Structure 1
Amino acid sequence: MKLTNKHFRIAEIMAAFFTGSQTEQDERDFEEWAKESDRHKAFVNRLLNPEEYEENRRALDKFQVEEAWSKMDKRIGDTKVRKLSSWRSVVRYAAVVLVLLSAGVYYWWNGEEVREEVPVLYQIAAGTTGARLTLGDGSVVDVLKDRAVELKEVDGTRIVTDSIGIDYSTRETVDTAEIMNTVQTLTGMEYMLTLSDGTKVFLNAETKLKFPTKFQKEERVVVLEGEAYFEVSKDVAHPFIVKTNGVEVKVLGTSFNLRSYSDENSIATTLVSGKVAMFAGENSEEIVPGEQAVYMKETGKMDVKPVDVTLYTAWHTGKFIFRNETLEEMMSYLARWYGVEYRFIDEGAKKLQIGARLDRYNNMNPIIEMLKKTGLVNITQVDNMLYISSTE
C-alpha cells in the first residue's frame, strides 16, 4: 500500500480525537474515511481503544520504533497506560506514533496480518531562474534560464532576455502613451530585470512587479507584491517610488530590500545604502543604511530598528541566513523557494528558534537533515509534504 498525504491527514485527526480537540471538518473527514471500508472501521476501533494498547504495541514493535515508544512511556507512565487521561496527555507523541514519522513506516491491520511500507524520500530541488512576462497588449511570455528572447513593445522598447535576466534599458525614441509590463516569479523562481532607467530589481519567489516600459513622468513608479531587492539609479529630478499593499517607499539612488507578501502580517524595508522614506497612511519614517522600517498591517504602526542587513538581503546573492528565527517563519520563507508544503504537528515545533547559514541553490534535503540533527524536531517527508514535530 502506498503511503499518501491522506493517511497522514487521518493520523492527525486521530490525534485530535485523543484530546477532544477535533474540529467539525475533522469529524466530517473522519466519517468519510471510516465509511470507505470495514477495514478502516476495524483499524480505527483497534487503534483508539486504550484496552488494546499492549496488543497495538506488540504489533508496532515489529517495525523497530522503540525510540518513539520510549518517549510515549515517559509521558504515559507504566502503571496507567490504560487510562484515557494518560492517553490525552501525550497528544504530540500520539501523532508521532500514529504516523510513525521518525521511523518512516506506515502500518496497517488486515485481520492478523501486518504490512509495512517504507516511503520513498524524494529530493526537494532548489528553485531556478525564471519568470512570467506580461506585455502591454496582455500577451504572456514565459522566460526561462538560458533561454534568449528578444521582443519589442510599440513604444520602441527592446525587451531582451538572457541568462542574467530582462533588460529594458535599450530603446528607440517613439512617442506613445505609457505602456505597463509585469514580471512575475512563481513558487521556486527568482529573476532579475533592468528597468529603462538602469535600475536593477532582483525578484524573489512568488513576487510580481508592475512597471512602465519607459519612465515618462516626474516620478518613477513601480508596483510590487512579494519581495525584491532594488539597486536604484540616482535621478534627483525623478524620485523612484515603490507602491505595495497600501505602503509607498520613496528613494532617490539607493539599494534596499522590500518584503511585502499579501499573506504576511508586516511590510519591511531594509536599507543597504542611500536614503529611504516609507509612507503608510499618516505614518512615515525615514531610514538610513543599517536600519529597517516595519509596518504592521493589523495595527497600522510603523517602527524603525537597526538590523544586520545581510540577514534580509543574502537571498539575492544565493544564501539563506537565519538568526534566531522561529521555525514557523523559516519554513514559510523556504517553502516559497523550494515549492514544498509543510505541516506542524504541534505548536511547540513552530516556536523553536533556529540559526543557520545555507546555500540557496542546494536542494532542500541537507536543510532537512540539518534540522533533524539539532535534536529539536522530527521531520518526515511524504511526497512534497513535510511533517514537523518537536522532540520534547
Structure 2
Amino acid sequence: MTPEAFKEILTRYCQGQCTPQEEALVQEWYDTIDTSNRQALPEEQRIILEAKAWSQLSARVRDGRQPRFHLLYKIAACLALFVLAAGGWYYFTHTPDAPVASITADTLPAGWRAEYNRGQTPRMILLTDGSRVMLYPGSTLCFPQTFNRGRREVTLTGEGFFDVQRDTLSPFLVYTQEVTTRVLGTSFTIKAYANAPEITVAVATGRVAVYKQKPGTPLDAAAVVLSPNQQAVYNRQNDRVKKALVAHPRIIPAASANPTMSYEAASVTSIFQALEESYGVDFVYDETTVTGCTLTTTLTDEDLHARIRIVCEAIGATYTVQDTSIVITGTGCP
C-alpha cells in the first residue's frame, strides 16, 4: 500500500465512509504507536501520540468518563492525516513477501533451529527477543537463533500460544503453510496441525493481521484484522478465511480488573454497553425494544454466554452469534 492510498483511507475514516476492513486497519495502525519512549519516536508518531493524549483528556473533561475507543481512533487519525511521513505508515500497512513461509524442520537454513514437543504437556520456548511461545504436544516451531533487524519470523506446525514482545519497528510473523499471522506485540493462539481441515488464529490481547498464503506464493494483500476475543478460521478445502467470535470470550484485561458486575435496577441498555466494553464484542439490538427495561442482578464467575442468557431471560429475549457480533432479538420487557 502506498502512502497516498493510506492517506485516502484516513480521509474516508474521518468522513465516516470507510469499509469495516479499512476501519480495522486504522485501529491497528493507531494501536501500534509506542508510548514508552516518546523522544525516540519519529516526528509524525509524536504528533499522533499528542493527538491520542489530547483526545483522551478532552473526552474525560467533556463527560467525566472513559472515552469510547472508536472516538479516539477518529480524532487521532484526523489530526495526523496530513503529517504522516512515508516511513511512518510503512510498518502498519506493508504486506511483506515471505520466502521463510516454506521453511520446515526438514529444510532449516543456516542459523535456524527447530524445537519439538514430543511430550504430553505444553512446553515453553523463549525467543531471543523476549517473546515466549507455549508449544503444545505434537507441534514444531522453527526460528532463527537471532532475528533479523526489521522482521521477526518463525514457522509453526501444530499449536502454539504466542506472547510477543512489542517492537513497533520489527513485525513478528508466524508462517503456517497456508496462513501468515503478523503482529507487533500481542498474545494469540494458532492451531495449524498438518492434517486438520482448518487453521485458526485466536487473539487474547492486542491486534493481529492474518493473511492467506501458500508456499511459494506472495501474501494475499487483503488481511483479516482481529481484536481480542476474535478469531480467523481458514478452511483448507475452500481456501477461505472467516472472521468469528472465539468460543469462550474472556474479559479484556485493560477493560476491567474486577470481573464481577453488580446492578441494582439498572437499564438493560447500560448492561449491554458494559458487556460490550468488558469483552470488546459488539452487541446489535433494537434499542426501542429495551427502553425502560431494568434489571437487578450480580454477574460473577459466569462466562459471556451465560451472562447474556441471564439478561435475555429477564427481558424475554434471545440471542445469536453472527460473525463477531452478538445479536439480541426480542419484543420488549415482559
Task: Indicate whether the TM-score tops 0.5.
Answer: no
Q: Please say which structure displays the higher CA radius of gyration.
A: 1
TM-score scaled to structure 2, two decimals? 0.39
Structure showing the higher strand proportion among its residues = 1
TM-score scaled to structure 1, two decimals? 0.33
User: Relative contact order (alpha carbons < 8 A, sep ≥ 6): 1 or 2 greater?
Assistant: 1
